[in-house]
Amino acid sequence: MQLARVIATATATVKHPTLAGERLLVVELLAADGRPEGEPILVIDRLGAGRGDRVIVTNDGRALQELLGPTTPGRWSVLGIPDS
């Protein structure tokens, strides 16, 4: 799990069938001191996070496979939205 900040939403005209109807966000991972760390990543969001929100993301592909099916190419997903 890692803290991240939502920087944008993503749309795709063509995507894997397991991602149909799923909301995609572009997030930047945050270091312990709150500064951006690394390149932005694409995550699947079922919690309704918005631009500028801090979120907890996970790269537990197994959990995502249980939600979307064993053939999903997704790896990162929003696990929670922390209180301020």
Q: What pLDDT shows up at residue 4?
A: 97
**Phi–psi pair at 47, nearest 5 degrees:** -100, -10
Question: Is residue 26 within 8 Å of 41, Cβ to Cβ?
Answer: yes
Q: What pLDDT shows up at residue 36?
A: 95
Q: What pLDDT shows up at residue 31?
A: 95
Pairing status of strand 77-80 against strand 23-29: unpaired
Q: What pLDDT shows up at residue 76?
A: 95
pTM of the model: 0.89
Task: Name the strand (E) or helix (H) holding 11.
Answer: none
Domains of the chain by start residue, with CATH: 2-80 (2.40.50.220)
Q: What pLDDT shows up at residue 6?
A: 98
DSSP structure class, residue 76: -
Q: Which residues of the chain have pLDDT under 50?
A: none
